[in-house]
Structures are given as structure tokens and as C-alpha cells.
Chain A
Amino acid sequence: MDYYHTPSTVDEALTIAGKLSGNYTFFAGGTDIQNYRKQQLDTNEYVIDLSEIEELDSITIVDGALHLGAMTTLDKIVSSDEIQNHYPIIAEAAKTVATPVLRKTATIGGNLLVTNRCTFYNQSQEWRDGVGSCLRDVGDICQVTGGKNDCYSRNVSDTATALIVLGAEITLMTPNGIIQKSLKDIYLPCGIKFHDLEERCILTQISVPIEPKKWWYKKLRLRKTLDFTSLTVAATIDTAGIARVCLNGVSMSPILIEKPLKELTLEGLISIARKNCKTVDNDLMPLKYRREMINVYLKEWWKSFR
């Protein structure tokens, strides 16, 4: 059996996956997962490279809804006139991911399913062995909290933050058929099993129904390029006056707060956000600073539409 597979259709990819007994990794762009393989964090024997599946590379607007093929590169999304005109928050979010060169390879599907990160996990094998490893790896305690039960690795998908506030739905192909679900439902508040997905499935499409009235997006990171998020906040207010605020990079899954604007106060919003974000000291930026920046960003958003 070949180690590296390049199927040209989703069905072919699922068929190959079926023969490999779970011992495989799907590559979309591969720009992040390649590091996991180099660091021995992904030790599956086989690779199924989805980059040759042309049917998953598309941007279309049908009946006022945007449909993105999961293998559309972030660069195409950033430079798409349709997205810039109708869904600028998606273009803005995609533009904050990695660097211009990486965005030519990295895909929207790969970014939505990016693996959770932690400063004690995303390290070389030697580094991890040196500190005694962690709960998510082969150790028995969380190196951040000292706890034995919970892992607090962070979800760092920037595009997920923007797409969740837009109410995006996703389409998954499985051997048993097509599954459609809300994007926010695939994220689990757990640092080890962070995606609620079937064992053998491929994300094929992202559909965005809402064209928001007002939007806001901001990402906190050490450098203005390349770095994964330390805190991302995306917010929209739709035509019915419903505010949707999503925070990411500060908890195991994106945190969505959805309320009618007239029922919302800034203090209430900050309180809900701080209560729901399980922020721990697992990023390059200090914990206290990141927590404080939640308040700063929410205040900034609040002022932006007042």
C-alpha cells in the first residue's frame, strides 16, 4: 500500500480512508499538519492529500448565500471580489491567517479544522520529553494547570471566528452520505477531542446565509503576520438587530454570544465572555494581558457601532 495518496474525488478519498483502518491523516494545504508530523505529534502512517480534488475549490453565491469549497485557498478568498463586496469579514479573517505565501497553499477547510494549540504541546519531541510531556501527549498531567483531567489547548482558527458569527453551515461527506450541520456545533469544549466529527468524513463545503448589516473583526498576536492568534474577536449585527460576538484563541473552542442588541450591555457582555472563556497560561502572551484584552476588544467593538 502506498504511503501517500492523491485522490481526485471525495468518494475516492473516502474509499482509500476505508482501507487504512484509521491509520491516516488528511492533508488539505498541509501547512500546519506537516509540522505535527515533523514533531511526531501526528504519527499516522498514511497521508491522503486532498489537494487534487478540484470539485472542492470553488467560490459561488447562489440565492444570496455564499458557498465555499473546503479546498479553496485562503489567498483566493482574500482576493475574491464577491467575498470582499458581500462578506468582507471573511476576507479580513482570511487575511490575518499566516503569511501571504502560506495563504496560497493553506485552505479554508484546513483552517476551520486546525488542531488546537498549546505552548506545552506544540514543541519538538525532545522539548516535550524534557518537561515530562503532557496530558494530551503521553504524560499524565496538564503542564499548564497541573490538573489530571482537563486539557485547555486553544482553538486558533481565525476563519471559524468570522464564519460562526455569520451563522455558517458546513457539509460533510461520509461513507454513509452527506451530513449538514452548523459550523459552531463541530467544536467541542475539550482540549483533546476538540472536533465533533464522524470517524471517516471530509469537510466539503461551507455555506454562509447571512449578509450582516455591521461587522467587526480583530486579531491579537505578537507580530502582524504569521503568528497564531492570542485572541480573535469577530462580531456582527444583522438586520433583525441580533448581535453575535465570537471569541477565539482563548478557550478550547470558539465562544459564541448571541443576543438581541437591545438586551445587551457592555458589562453584561464582558461578564459572559470572561465566564465562558477557559483561558489559561498556554500562549506566548501573558495570561493576565490576554484576559484584559478580552475587555479591551469588546469595549472597542461596543464603541464602534454606538
Chain B
Amino acid sequence: MGLKQIELTVNDFSHPFLVESDETLLFTLRNRLYLTGTKEGCNQGTCGSCTVLLDGKPVLSCMTPTLRCVEKKVITIEGISSGENLHPVQKYLVKNGGLQCGFCTPGVVMTAVPFLEENPDASRREIKEGLSGNLCRCTGYKKIIDALENAAAEMRS
């Protein structure tokens, strides 16, 4: 298989590097760019912890070959806030206590941001459905959904 030289745009910065031909985007982000905010949970597309945005679309980085991401824009949890200002989704997750251990939180944020942008008037039920691919072992989900409802309200205003 061997190494291949590519250029990857992550959080608006372009990075040239060598990658294994069969490696996943998750591996590249965590082990080559040290962007460890993206979490490795199940590593089989089940938990949603590794969600990132690929050209604005949420994808599971553990299922995405890095070579599929060349010439596309990757946004990770490290690139979702504007400097010191948290994104409303992040802000309300903190405010509403929508996290405990925090392992699933990057995945929740990266799923919720495009979902709420696409569905600004989403009902509580729709938010639950949109987040149904993100597993959380701590919160019992209620506070996450509360936070996303509040974030949606702020994003609408």
C-alpha cells in the first residue's frame, strides 16, 4: 500500500503530509495533526464521537478514508468557535450542563451545528432524531436536548 503525499485543508489551514493509503480521517486528525478534540469511540460508525464536517456536511471520520478528503474542507471541533467566542451550541451545552465526562461532546457539537443550520425551527422531537446517532453514557440526553433547543433559539434570532 505505502505512503502517499497529500494536502489537506483542516480548519482553514492547509497541511501537506504523507498518509498511509488506507488510513481514516480520524487517524490523520488525531495522530498526524494532533487535533485530539475529535474522539475515537467505537471506531465502527456507531457512537458519533468522531463526527467532523467535510465540505459542511457531517461525516463520521472513523469511516471516512483520508484520501477522500483531498481538495475538500475539513472542520473539526477545534475550528467551530470564532476565537474566544463559543458557538451557540457549545455555549448552551456548557450553560445547560449538557455534558459530564465530555467525551461525546465534540461529536454532539459537530452533528448539532449543521443540523440546526439546516433545520432552524426543529422541534424537540426532530432534535432528538437528528442527534440519534450520537451516544452519551453520562447525561441521559435531556440536558443536551435542552441545550440544543436554546442554541436553536439563539441561532434563529
Chain A residues within 8 Å of B, Cβ to Cβ: 2-4, 6, 27, 30-31, 34-35, 37-38, 45, 47, 49, 51, 98-102, 104-105, 224-226
Task: Give the interface size class of chain B.
Answer: 20 to 34
Contact A102 B60, beta carbon cutoff 8 Å: yes
Contact A225 B65, beta carbon cutoff 8 Å: no
29 contacts between A and B (CB under 8 A): A2-B4, A4-B21, A6-B67, A27-B65, A30-B64, A31-B45, A31-B63, A34-B24, A34-B63, A35-B44, A35-B45, A38-B43, A38-B44, A45-B1, A47-B65, A49-B67, A98-B133, A99-B133, A100-B115, A100-B129, A101-B48, A101-B111, A102-B63, A104-B58, A104-B59, A225-B129, A226-B46, A226-B132, A226-B133
Contact B65 A30, beta carbon cutoff 8 Å: yes
Q: Compute how far the CA of A51 lies from the CA of B63 in the bound complex, rounded to whole angstroms.
A: 14
Contact B67 A34, beta carbon cutoff 8 Å: no
Contact B132 A99, beta carbon cutoff 8 Å: yes
Residues of A within 8 A of B130 (CB): 100
Any chain A CB within 8 A of the CB of B16? no
Q: Compute how far the CA of A225 lies from the CA of B24 in the bound complex, rounded to whole angstroms.
A: 24
Q: Compute how far the CA of A118 lies from the CA of B118 in the bound complex, rounded to whole angstroms.
A: 37
Question: Closest residue of chain A to B2, judged by CB?
Answer: A3
Q: Which interface residue of B48, B65, B130 has the most chain A CB atoms within 10 A? A: B65
Contact B21 A34, beta carbon cutoff 8 Å: no
Chain B residues within 8 Å of A, Cβ to Cβ: 1-2, 4, 21-22, 24, 43-46, 48, 51, 57-60, 63-65, 67-68, 111, 115, 129-130, 132-133
Q: Compute how far the CA of A226 lies from the CA of B60 in the bound complex, rounded to whole angstroms.
A: 13
Question: Closest residue of chain A to B47, judged by CB?
Answer: A226
Q: Compute how far the CA of A30 lies from the CA of B62 in the bound complex, rounded to whole angstroms.
A: 11
Residues of A within 8 A of B48 (CB): 99, 101
Contacts A3-B1, A51-B68; A224 near B132 (Cβ below 8 A): yes
Residues of B within 8 A of A38 (CB): 43-44
Contacts A34-B63, A49-B68, A51-B68; A102 near B44 (Cβ below 8 A): no
